[in-house]
Structure 1
Amino acid sequence: MAKIAKRVAKTREGIDRNKLYPLADAIGLLKERATAKFDETIELAINLGVDPRHADQMVRGVCQLPNGTGRTVRVAVFARGTKADEAKAAGADIVGAEDLVDIVQGGTIDFDRCIATPDMMPLVGRLGKVLGPRGLMPNPKVGTVSQDVAGAVKAAKGGAVEFRVEKAGIVHAGVGKVSFASDALVENIRAFLDAVQKAKPTGAKGTYLQRVSISSTMGPGVKVDPSSVTA
């Protein structure tokens, strides 16, 4: 059996791995144990009662976190003319058309979110094999294909978080930083869970929300009582 590092063992002290903690208590446990030299991210993991292999059980959407993510988001926009100007004015980091396609195809992906106007999608579609696996492909369902590029850029910069269920039925997301006030983290987590619940697919059967846990970048996972999240 592999030995557990002393630091890891210490962070686990006082945490009952079989207990479901109220959300506020779980956040407190993580904040007490966040000893890294950087501002750790609070990660949320939700186990859902779905099988994403079936189209009618896919869960996907976007959530605007009320208190932001705490991280700087670089946004790229595929647009031309006045829409390109609007994107730049809204704070987009990279704006382009064919030139941006060439940059991405060349292997340079210096952005965290990708937005496109509808007329640019035939062009952006060429990048599906590059952007798709990274979760960066623009999609109208999550607001990243839009004529309102300024609004989409501001949303991305202000704390919009995309989510998509994985093969195992799990949704992951960063919902803030350890430095955030506990109340702010509670608000973000509840907002995210609400968005996931609203995205419940028609094919979901049985218990939709099965398990909830949170962790920090370098810290242990803490199981959360789902009823305390939805309160």
Structure 2
Amino acid sequence: MAKLTKRQKAQSAALEGKENLSVEEAVALIKQNATSKFDETVEIAMNLGVDPRHADQMVRGTVTLPAGTGKTVRVGVFARGAKAEEAEAAGADVVGAEDLMEQVQAGNINFDRCIATPDMMPIVGRLGKILGPRNLMPNPKVGTVTMDVKEAIEAAKGGQVQFRAEKAGVVHAGIGKASFDEAALAKNVRAFVDAVTKARPAGAKGTYMKQVSLSSTMGRGVTVDVVSATGND
């Protein structure tokens, strides 16, 4: 078994017995233990009482975090003509049609968010096996298949986060950086939890939100009191 480093031992000691904390307590603890040389991402994981293999239990959506993500998001847009020009003017990092499709097929994916106008979907559809597993496939349900490419680009670059339940019913996302102040991170946590709460599908039965936890990129996770996370405390 690999030996724990001094930093890992210190983290373990600091988190020992810390469970079901308030959002503010959890955020403070995560920040305190994010001691890597880079600015770690603060991540949230939510265990939901759903089985996303059933269509009526899928959880997905978007949320614009009030304090942003602290991450520079590269946006790729599939569009032609005036919409391509609109995308370039709005700050898209990559814009194209068949040429962009060929780049993606060649393995050159130079974007973190993919947006497409509806007329581009026959082209984008050919890339499903490449973009789908990377959670980059444009989808009208999350506003990435749209004629309003300017708004979509601004949202993507302005702190919008997409979420989708995985097979085990877990939703996770980055909700800021360890360098953010505690109040900003707490606002982002509650905004994310609120969005997931509102995205509860019709087929969800029983307890919807089973557990919420926070961690940093290199740190251990701590569980957060669900009532505190929903802002109902």
| Ranges in structure 2 where 5+ consecutive residues have no aligned partner | none
Match in the other structure for 1:171: 171
The reply to whether residue 215 of structure 1 matches residue 215 of structure 2 is: yes
Cα deviation, residue 52, structure 1: 1.1
The reply to whether residue 149 of structure 1 matches residue 153 of structure 2 is: no
Q: Secondary structure at the match of 1:14?
A: helix
Q: Secondary structure at the match of 2:174?
A: strand
Q: 1:17–1:222: 8 Å Cα contact kept in structure 2?
A: no
Q: Secondary structure at the match of 2:127?
A: helix
Match in the other structure for 1:94: 94
Q: Following the alignment from structure 2 to structure 1, what is the Cα–Cα distance between the partners of residues 140 and 193?
A: 21
Q: TM-score, normalised by structure 2?
A: 0.96
The reply to whether residue 138 of structure 1 matches residue 138 of structure 2 is: yes
Q: Following the alignment from structure 1 to structure 2, what is the Cα–Cα distance between the partners of residues 184 and 106?
A: 40
| Ranges in structure 1 where 5+ consecutive residues have no aligned partner | none
Q: Secondary structure at the match of 2:45?
A: strand
Q: Secondary structure at the match of 1:37?
A: coil
Cα deviation, residue 155, structure 1: 0.3
Cα deviation, residue 18, structure 1: 5.9
After superposition, what is the alpha-carbon deviation per residue over 1:87-138, rounded to whole angstroms, capped at 9, x for unaligned?
A: 1111100000110001101111111000000011011101001101100000
Q: 2:21–2:223: 8 Å Cα contact kept in structure 1?
A: yes
The reply to whether residue 192 of structure 1 matches residue 192 of structure 2 is: yes
Q: Return the letter of the residue paired with 1:135.
A: N
List aligned pairs for 1:1-231, cutoff 5 A: 3-17=3-17, 19-231=19-231
Cα deviation, residue 5, structure 1: 3.2
Question: Once the two structures are aligned, what percentage of the paired residues are identical?
Answer: 65
The number of residue pairs the alignment matches comes to 231
